[in-house]
Structure 1
Amino acid sequence: MQLPAPPAARRLTWLRWSCTTALGLSMWCAGAALAFDLQGHRGARALAPENTLSGFQRALAIGVSTLELDVVLSAEGVPIVSHDTAANPDITRDPSGRWLQSRGQPFHQLTLAQIGELDVGRINPASRYARDFAQQQAVDGERIPTLAAVFEQVKRLRADHVRFNIELKRNPERAHESPEPEAFVRAVLEVVRTEGMASRTSLQSFDWGLLKIAQRLAPELPLAFLSAQRPRFNTLHSGTWSAGLREADFKDAPALLAAAGARLWSPHFNDLNRTLIERAREEGLRVIPWTVNEWPDMERLIDWGVDGLITDHPDRLRAVMEQRGMTLPPPVAPMVARQN
């Protein structure tokens, strides 16, 4: 009797099949894209300020295959890199150096000049956030970058193998905090295309309405359908986040994803089990869960055959992968070492 292939081999076999059958995945199917996808969440959030140029440089120095980042728009309609639709007081100081006391105006109501005055180089030590990420090294004076600046940084570092997984941040339950959906998607696509990064970029969102717009405007770009089924945050329950689709109307979450036109599913890692991953395969879905930070969780999910992991600790995930003999993405030397 022939023994079953190990999880990594099964994953690559399935990917080779999907490259020839699933539409819209050609960018994921060339060369190293077949390998396990090590995604640095907001750069390397556990180690460096999130969604900043220094944070992305830290992730690249560790060695990731994909930079995961979030975008919103400024008042001018320029994509900027922020997880929140308004400044997060846990990580933001005003021009005088004082910690913000509230979220304030949404970014899409602030100019680039106003946004550029905010310091996001360290976590407020009085916050729970600081306890959660006690290892993060501060970089005082770090600013919120534009999406174009991130692309330019990666070009300067000649990190030509690195991909970008860009989350479009919009809360459909607080739509007033975000710009008009189609204008939002168009603004991001314009930067991606102008910077020549379309072949290296995927878009993701919890708001599947934005992904439907992206499917229409940029059918060539891979899309990742984010989901959460947590007690206080369930994006598949009411249809508000999932473009009108509700899990109760389908066999299970993978069936809902397939009905939405998904090819890549990024669920909360605690929402997964081996059976659901097998069901996702039956529905033609790749699976890259978020945000996986602990060694045992990484090992379990790799054993179950996921296609990659999004993590605040790319250093830990690299160690797990190395221990298992998995192919590692190359690290990228810091900019100071490349000036010649």
Structure 2
Amino acid sequence: MSATTSRAGSGYLEAPFVALAHRGFSRAGLENSMAAFAAARDLGLRYVETDAHATSDGVAVALHDASLDRTTDAHGLVADLPWRTVRAARIGGTEPVPSLEDVLGTWPDLRVNVDVKSAAAAEPVARAIERTRAHDRVCVASFAASRREATVARLSRPVTVSGARGAVLGMFLAGRARTDALARLAARSVDCLQVPVRGGWVRVVDSGFVRAAHRAGVAVHAWTVNDRATMHRLLDLGVDGIVTDRADLLRDVLRARGLWA
């Protein structure tokens, strides 16, 4: 097995159900902060989702937006600023912006889904994974397959990988056409598909999509789901994971169904 593909070769997908805290858990809006990740862990979740941009001096930081403007008390594009400036910014005016290495290194029992947000972030993300030896507990994702591939190509060991837009579209079509050949093609070199419940007016995650993915040996994680009714419906469909801003609600739903370990 090469370092560029996992096909579930790491331990990331071992849990019976993947409950992913989207940017951690914070009712106060402190997304992607160490406090939010700690809060998710304190709730009992062992999976968190985060995003990665690169500073001008090549540090991967856990931040969703390309700029600091929306979530912090500072301004400017992360790519134009050195790490010393970015780390001085405060999320919600109180919490420092963490590096990806901070997140991976602080909680060795936490599994982290990393969405690589830019081509420049590929090498810094790989470096953070290597330095913390987090290969077995990381899933590398990106909307662009090129960014994901550039990241995992720099790793010394396999990691779990999530499919990009092309894989999701292929699996959607495979579910509609009920063709295993197309499903296998869409699933090539990926371990899971992280997909929105809907894309505009189109329901993406339905029984056909889940069935096609499972027949191809790929897990389905639906995002971003914040209400109980949709959580229950997705569980009835057989999804393997849910990404949510409401980790507390998801925990309660899983407990009620006997799925909370």
Corresponding residue for 2:158?
Answer: 220
Corresponding residue for 1:184?
Answer: 121
AA aligned to 1:198 is: H
Partner Cα distance (1:80, 1:120) in 2? 13
Q: How does 1:287-306 map to 2 (within 5 A)?
A: 287-306=220-239
Structure 1 position 141 matched with structure 2 position 94 = yes
Partner Cα distance (1:61, 1:208) in 2? 33
- Bigger Rg, which one: 1
Corresponding residue for 1:84?
Answer: 65
Partner Cα distance (1:153, 1:203) in 2? 19
1:54 Cα shift?
A: 0.8
1:165 to 109, 113, 118: 113
Corresponding residue for 2:195?
Answer: 267
Is the CA contact 1:257–1:265 (under 8 Å) kept in the aligned structure 2? Answer: no
1:52 to 18, 33, 51: 33
Query: CA offsets, 1:220-253, max 9 Å, x none?
Result: 11111254xxxxxxxx5xxxxx7xx9759x6569
Is the CA contact 1:47–1:313 (under 8 Å) kept in the aligned structure 2? Answer: no
Instruction: Give the total of aligned pairs.
Output: 246
Structure 1 position 151 matched with structure 2 position 132 = no
Corresponding residue for 1:8?
Answer: none
Is the CA contact 1:48–1:54 (under 8 Å) kept in the aligned structure 2? Answer: no
1:149 Cα shift?
A: 1.6
Q: How does 1:26-45 map to 2 (within 5 A)?
A: 26-28=9-11, 33-45=14-26
Identity %, equivalent residues: 24
More strand by share: 2
Query: CA offsets, 1:179-219, max 9 Å, x none?
Result: xx3x5322211111111212211111111111222343336
1:46 Cα shift?
A: 4.0
1:197 to 131, 134, 146: 134
Is the CA contact 2:55–2:83 (under 8 Å) kept in the aligned structure 1? Answer: yes
Partner Cα distance (2:169, 2:236) in 1? 29
Q: 1:202 to 1:78 in 2, by over 3 A?
A: same
1:34 Cα shift?
A: 3.4
Is the CA contact 1:35–1:327 (under 8 Å) kept in the aligned structure 2? Answer: no
Query: CA offsets, 1:292-332, max 9 Å, x none?
Result: 1110110011111111111101110010010011133xxxx
AA aligned to 2:123 is: R
2:79 to 101, 108, 115: 108
Scaled by the length of structure 1, the TM-score of the pair is 0.65
1:92 Cα shift?
A: 2.3
RMSD after superposition: 2.8
1:77 Cα shift?
A: 0.1
AA aligned to 1:192 is: I
1:150 Cα shift?
A: 1.6
Scaled by the length of structure 2, the TM-score of the pair is 0.83
Corresponding residue for 2:49?
Answer: 68
Q: 1:151 to 1:300 in 2, by over 3 A?
A: same
Is the CA contact 2:223–2:243 (under 8 Å) kept in the aligned structure 1? Answer: yes
Partner Cα distance (2:139, 2:152) in 1? 11
AA aligned to 2:105 is: E
1:280 to 201, 206, 213: 213
AA aligned to 1:82 is: L
Give the unaligned 5+ runs of structure 2.
Answer: 177-181, 199-203
Partner Cα distance (1:287, 1:29) in 2? 14
Give the unaligned 5+ runs of structure 1.
Answer: 1-21, 95-99, 122-139, 171-180, 228-235, 237-241, 329-340
Q: 1:291 to 1:46 in 2, by over 3 A?
A: farther
